[in-house]
Structure 1
Amino acid sequence: MEVSHDYINTRGNITNIGELHRTLIKWAEEQGFQRDLESFIIETYHQMENNEEEVEIYLPIHR
């Protein structure tokens, strides 16, 4: 997949996915970023030790 948008991102334990989204959205607003609601959110999943999984979240923004 190729994307040509600007994104902000965060990464953390998949069990905290809701909080990761909320924290990233709040940070974006505090920094003055405007979300691009017409573009796709991208999430990638990464297997970690002890069968734990991390998620990396990319939120599209307008520049």
Structure 2
Amino acid sequence: MSHSSRQEATAADELLTIGQVSERTGVARSALHYYEQLGLVVPCAPPGTNGAIPGT
């Protein structure tokens, strides 16, 4: 596995759903969706799927 492939696999392992981000941060899901509409939060998955955003 190349270094690049390992980075991609690690990044994929760190994706969080809106619900997980909400639980970890205490920010309401509706607020996270609003931030998404404003472009402040960018989902990693296509619209209409179980979108996720990068975790920390």
Shorter-chain TM-score tier? 0.3 to 0.5
| TM-score after normalising by structure 2 | 0.33
Which structure would you say has the larger RCO, counting Cα contacts within 8 Å and 6 or more residues apart? 1
| TM-score after normalising by structure 1 | 0.31
